A and B are shown apart, each in its own frame.
Chain A
Amino acid sequence: MKIRDLILAVAALATAASSLVTTPVQAQAKEQFFPLLSYRTGPYAPNGIPWANGKQDYLKLINARDGGINGVKVTFEECETGYATDRGVECYERLKGRPGVTVFDPQATGITFALTEKVVVDKVPLITLGYGLSIAQDGMAFKWNFPLMGSYWTGADILVQHLGNKEGGLDKLKGKKIALVYHDSPFGKEPIPVLQERAKMHGFDLQLIPVTAPGVEQKSAWLQVRQSRPDFVFLWGWGVMNSTALKEAQATGYPRDKMYGVWWAGAEPDVKDVGEGAKGYNALALNTSGTQPKVIQDILKHVHGKNQGSGPKDEVGQVLYTRGVIISMLSVEAVRRAQERFGKGKVMTGDQVRWGMENLALDQKRLEALGFTGIMQPLSTSCSDHMGSSSARVQTWDGSKWGFSSDFIQADEQILKPMIKAGADKYMADKKMTRRTASDCQS
């Protein structure tokens, strides 16, 4: 009994003491810190892991191949959030105070909502490539949010346009039925306003079928799909929900070639173990995949070649891995751009990185120099446009790999702009904030 008590006392003291010790701050000069919020555990891990590995590998490449950003070494630290909002907030609080902190990519819509309020106070930008708050595209309202390359609204819009192209015109959609099988969370519910708007415009019938998170059992959802026999199904899922949806679609006999997934439902973990059963399934592609692009080759040479890879080698070049690489690249380019204005070779603050992110100009030439030809479209941000580029393609799974089945489609700004403005206005009225002035854009 005494030994037990002793061990208990020591354990209690150790816990108390260690929690009082704050993480030692690496106050090194000339180091730019990239916090990496990620999830490698939990129901969304299969998709979160390649994403996190891509982000890390690109940062390692910058150090290994380029020696840092104009001489400033890149450091990073991962923090496990498990897709949970409270853990994400804790990770953010822990890492936001590091010197040279650049930008946060929460990898989760729920955490994005929680951090949107906090980054305004803490002055660190938030990059939410292809997810997060759709109305944050309006840079004059959301100074610190950057939904680069797309949001749920642009994705939904592009899918409807693609269907219109396929059917021979958006007017041909009249009378058709589209079912949205979505993850019952803010992530899944975001596209609904755009789809409802488009349904009104073109006369198609929109059926909403929620799937309770994490989407492990979807039999009733797909029985409902079978009952209403929609012409098309949009899949808005993440993690295990995607592969389960495809399996249930196969089990209820819904043709997979009539299914269209958002760019978060179109990666290898979603279709690999369904294999032939997912043949014909279409999904949006925000970026290409494959090991041909020069930057992927560089990563294989400089990072994996020296056994510094964050994950398995056959993951390099996959859809979500490449997306992670893009996110890190955009963060690094924002720092580089900030250095052009605020001092080359110096460590940038969060505010300066934000300016850099707002003034990105990645044209085709620059993309080629970076090794990203063919991966993504040219991107240029501005004070009012925090998205930079809003086009995507549609890819189709042929049983063993993805192949493109459409050209690049641009999201229709005519429809989205008024919705974004209305949404941003309402958000600011609720929070009693005002829009930025033009002079604020120069700072």
Chain B
Amino acid sequence: MAFFLETLLGGLMAGMLYSLVALGFVLIFKASGVFNFAQGAMVLFGALSMARFSEWIPQLTGVDSLFMANVLAFVMAAVVMFVVAWAVEYLVLRHLVNQEGATLLMATLGIAYFLEGLGQTLFGSSIYKIDIGMPKDPVFILEGMFQGGVLVNKEDFYAALIAAALVCLLTLFFQKTVTGRALRAVADDHQAAQSIGIPLNRIWMIVWCVAGVVALVAGMIWGSKLGVQFSLTTVALRALPVVILGGLTSVPGAIIGGLIIGVGEKLSEVYLGGFVGGGIEIWFAYVLALGFLLIRPQGLFGEKIIDRV
């Protein structure tokens, strides 16, 4: 029983980490209808910037405290992500307005390759460290109830808290600020929003900036956990089932979907994997999402697809 709880908690927290990445997908799709395959590359790019800046800042400026170095690195990495967002909007999206979904998808794949190449050229291909002071050792709870206690990974727990805080911030941003309302308007109907004077290009750039910061936070947390290296882009492939299970246009969907996928993955690997030799968690996540899609083809919280015939 204790072990089941451990697996469950581990799954929930892994799921939160996936939903951090999935949030980026959802934000961009919601506001501009583009499925951003470059999200993984953006996570990597953000993480690489932060890792390298936090390494270079103490060397170049002599700032001693780790906390200050990290804060400065985060700010600089956020600026880098803003530049990326601006470049993407100005050089790519502006010229591909009104193209079909497949074309936009391919364009984002092209951007992904470009960012991967650029990131490795600027920052290198080795493993880099992000040290934001996360505790690495586990903690054991409920030792009274279960012998040996239930293992909780402290780093994952803090990561889940950060993800939750980010979602709250984003929700506040969308509900309470003027820009947030404009974003929601654009997500609803591009042309109607344009007709009342909302500048589409600026909104898209803001969305990509926000998605860039979300990618940076996700990259920071994953990077702190695993080390920053090129293979971080594969995390995006793990987060895709979350996006389609939760619905491409729903922020709470990304969270709930993440929790379901995380738990599903870990439980399946630990309890079912043994019978078939293991290694099933990646495709199980996709099959799980597929199963949900067969019941609700637009995802759990997605908008119903309306086709005009």
Contacts and interface: CB of A to CB of B under 8 A. Distances in A.
Asked if chains A and B are in direct contact (CB within 8 A), the reply is yes
A30 interface: no
Contact of A210 (B6, B126, B232, B277): B277
Interface string B268-283: 0110011001110110
A41 B231 CA distance: 10
Given A42-B230, A227-B270, 14 more contacts: A41-B120, A43-B234, A46-B127, A184-B279, A212-B279, A214-B231, A214-B234, A223-B266, A239-B231, A247-B136, A251-B136, A251-B153, A253-B151, A273-B128
Contacts of B231: 42-43, 214-216, 239-240
B227 A250 contact: no
19 contacts: A42-B230, A45-B229, A46-B126, A49-B126, A214-B234, A215-B231, A216-B235, A221-B278, A223-B10, A223-B270, A226-B6, A226-B151, A240-B229, A243-B127, A247-B225, A250-B136, A251-B137, A252-B138, A253-B137
A349 to B, nearest CB: 36
A44 to B, nearest CB: 9
Nearest to A315: B126
Contacts of B10: 219-220, 223
B226 A240 contact: yes
B281 A220 contact: yes
Interface string B221-242: 0000111011110110010000
A3 to B, nearest CB: 16
Top 7 A-B pairs ranked by shortest CB distance? A43-B231, A220-B269, A45-B125, A210-B279, A273-B129, A46-B126, A214-B231
A239 B279 CA distance: 18
Contacts of B89: none
Contacts, number: 109
Interface in B21-64: none
B127 A273 contact: yes
Interface of B: 3, 6-7, 10, 14, 120, 125-129, 136-138, 151, 153, 155-156, 225-227, 229-232, 234-235, 238, 265-266, 269-270, 273-274, 277-279, 281-282
A224 interface: yes
B151 A46 contact: no
B17 to A, nearest CB: 9
B234 A223 contact: no
A43 B120 CA distance: 11
Contacts of A240: 127, 226-227, 229, 231
Contacts of A45: 125-126, 229-230
Given A247-B227, A250-B137, A251-B136, A223 B125 contact: no
Contacts of B230: 41-43, 45
Given A49-B126, A208-B277, A253-B151, A247 B270 contact: no
A262 to B, nearest CB: 19
A219 B266 contact: yes
A40 interface: yes
A208 B278 contact: yes
Given A220-B269, A253-B137, A269 B6 contact: no
Contacts of A110: none
B246 to A, nearest CB: 19
Interface string A386-410: 0000000000000000000000000
B265 A220 contact: yes
A217 interface: yes
Interface in A226-272: 226-227, 239-240, 243-244, 247, 250-253, 269, 272
Contacts of B270: 220, 223-224, 227
B126 A269 contact: yes
A217 B6 contact: no
A272 B274 CA distance: 32
Contacts of A269: 126-127
A209 B127 CA distance: 24
Contacts of A371: none
Contact of B282 (A212, A243, A244, A273): A212
A211 interface: yes
A219 B9 CA distance: 11
A173 to B, nearest CB: 23
Could you say which of A41, A214, A220, A250 has the most chain B C-beta atoms within 10 Å of its C-beta? A220
Nearest to B274: A224
A277 interface: yes
A253 B125 CA distance: 29
A316 to B, nearest CB: 16
Contacts of A217: 14, 226, 235, 238
Max chain A Cβ within 10 angstroms of own Cβ: one of B126, B138, B238: B126
Contacts of B279: 184, 210-212
Contacts of B6: 223, 226
A253 to B, nearest CB: 5
A221 B265 CA distance: 11
B169 to A, nearest CB: 26
Contacts of B126: 45-46, 49, 269
A251 B136 CA distance: 6
A14 to B, nearest CB: 20
A40 B125 CA distance: 7
B278 A223 contact: no
Contacts of A214: 231, 234
A41 B125 contact: yes
Contacts of B137: 250-251, 253
A108 to B, nearest CB: 16
Contacts of B155: 251
Contacts of B274: 224
A268 B125 CA distance: 15
Contacts of A219: 10, 14, 266
Contact of A43 (B14, B229, B278): B229
A210 B234 CA distance: 17
B153, B226, B231, B279: residue with the most chain A Cβ atoms closer than 10 Å = B231
A57 B176 CA distance: 61
Contacts of A253: 137-138, 151
A49 B125 CA distance: 9
A272 B129 CA distance: 9
